[in-house]
Every structure is written in C-alpha cells, then in structure tokens.
C-alpha cells in the first residue's frame, strides 16, 4: 500500500553514493519542523530500495523536555547497530539490528512511517507510532499498539489514515508469515565495509528546509503534537 504519490519527492535525480553520509530527519506533525535526526551512511540508493547504516555510537539528536521547559533537541548516542531498509512510496521501513562485538543479529523492526522524501542532505520522514517486531525465527508481535490506538481515539490521527497504517502493517505481517521479501533475504548477514567509520551529522542538518509529507493534512489533525 502507498500513502503518497511516488513521483513527488521520490524521483532519483541525484542518488547518493554508497558510503556517503546523509541526515535522516523526522519532520514534526504539528508544525513541519526538523525533529529527531540521525547521521547515516548510504548502503544502497536505488529505484526500489534505500538502505541506511546507523552504527552504535553515532551521535544523533533526540527530544528532551526539562521540567517546566519546552522540549528541545539534544545530542544522544545511538546504542545498537541498525540497517534501515526503506522503500520509495511505502509507509514503513524495516530495520535489521545487531548487538555486541560479534554482531549477533537481534531482530527485524518494522517501523510504520511517512513515505520518505529526498532532500539535498538526505531524507525526511516521520514516525507513525505503531511498530511490529519480528524475531530471528520470524515470530512477530505488535509494539506500541495501545499508544497508536490512543492517538486515533484522541483525534490526532484521522480514521482514514489510521486504517491505512493498519493495512500497511498487515501487508508486512503477511510477508513475515510467508517468509518472503526482506524476511527471506541475506540482509541479516550484511556487514559494513571495514573502512567505514561512524558518521557525524552533515552540515545543515537543522538548516536545510524540511520537506513535509504532502498528505499530512489528510492524516493529522491540528492537535497533532510531534
């Protein structure tokens, strides 16, 4: 299922090269400003797949809300090596994660999210709260389902959008249960080239104008907060 036209912000005019450092930014629902942001190295940037490597130890920007103060972005350290597989026009990504010096494959993490948009320094998207975890044996489970349903009940997510998110999740669950696509691929055995270093956020990560999702008015109510 597609939640946005692929031709808008998805045309590969200038694909990024393998190893190039980019910024992956979450664009807030309420006011379309830059939120959480990760540095990543490009593994693949093709018509069908965007693969981004975010290693453990990478410094990214996360939200922090001091008592009695507005929230703000602060430096944080990414704790688990992640390969984020993203699909042009689709409303989810699949993360492969490893842990420890032996790089033991931990799980597939299905993140429901806005279809990504291309920027001069990387890619923009935002999280849809609902997730699915698939363990190495492909047993799967919902994550944050109650939080997602609460956002629907409160009116932050519109009913048609919520239905589309659920349908997107169900389509990925079907792939898990059929053991196809990413879940039957060699990605869990992937290794970064040995000369790749931990990336840092590129210059302009918080200055380059964001590219809001073209369907945000259909998906989010004015009360949307993040």
pTM: 0.92
User: What are the backbone angles phi and psi of residue 181, rounded to the nearest 5°?
Assistant: 65, -135
> Do the domain assignments include residue 4?
no
> Is 2 among the domain residues?
no
In the chain, how many domains are there?
Answer: 1
Chain position carrying tokens 């006011």: 31
Q: Would 60 be classed as within a structural domain? A: yes
Q: What is the mean pLDDT of the chain?
A: 93
Q: Tell me if 136 is assigned to some domain.
A: yes
Catalytic residue among 10, 103, 143, 226: 143
**What integer pLDDT is reported at residue 8 of this predicted model?**
42
Has residue 8 been placed in a domain? Answer: no
| pLDDT of 50 above 50 | yes
64 assigned to some structural domain: yes
DSSP state of 210: P
Residue 52 falls within a domain, yes or no? yes
Contacts by 14-21, CB closer than 8 A, 24 or more apart: 15/45, 15/46, 16/42, 16/45, 16/122, 17/42, 17/45, 18/42, 18/43, 18/44, 18/45, 19/193, 19/196, 21/199, 21/200, 21/202
Give the mean pLDDT of 20-42.
97
Per-residue pLDDT of 155-204, as tens digits, reads 999 999 999 999 999 999 999 999 999 999 999 999 999 999 999 999 99
The pLDDT tens digits of the residues spanning 54-106 come to 999 999 999 999 999 999 999 999 999 999 999 999 999 999 999 998 999 99
Going by their DSSP bridges, the two strands 21-27 and 122-125 should be labelled as: parallel
Q: Count the residues in the chain.
A: 226
What's the domain range around 94? 21-191+198-205+215-219
Could you give the dihedral angle defined by the CA atoms of residues 161, 205, 225 and 71, in that order, rounded to the nearest 10 degrees?
Answer: 160
15 an active-site residue? no
The CATH number for 43's domain is 2.40.380.10
Classify residue 50: in a domain, yes or no: yes
């Amino acid at each position: 299922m597609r939640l946005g036209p692929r031709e808008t912000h998805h045309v590969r005019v200038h694909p990024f090269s393998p190893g190039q450092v980019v910024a992956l930014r979450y664009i807030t629902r309420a006011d379309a400003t830059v939120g959480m942001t990760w540095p990543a190295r490009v593994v693949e940037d093709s018509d069908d797949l965007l693969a981004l490597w975010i290693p453990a130890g990478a410094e990214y920007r996360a939200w922090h809300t001091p008592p009695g103060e507005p929230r703000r972005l602060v430096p944080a350290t990414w704790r688990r090596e992640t390969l984020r597989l993203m699909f042009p026009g689709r409303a989810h990504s699949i993360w492969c994660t490893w842990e420890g010096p032996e790089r033991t494959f931990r799980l597939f993490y299905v993140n429901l999210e806005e279809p990504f948009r291309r920027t001069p320094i990387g890619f923009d998207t935002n999280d849809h709260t609902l997730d699915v975890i698939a363990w190495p044996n492909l047993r799967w489970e919902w994550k944050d389902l109650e939080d997602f349903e609460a956002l629907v009940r409160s009116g932050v997510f519109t009913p048609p959008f919520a239905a589309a998110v659920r349908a997107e999740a169900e389509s990925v669950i079907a792939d898990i249960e059929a053991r196809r696509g990413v879940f039957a691929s060699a990605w869990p055995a992937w290794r970064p080239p040995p000369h790749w270093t931990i990336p840092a956020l590129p210059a302009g990560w918080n200055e380059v104008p964001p590219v809001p999702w073209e369907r945000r008015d259909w998906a989010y109510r004015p009360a949307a907060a993040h």
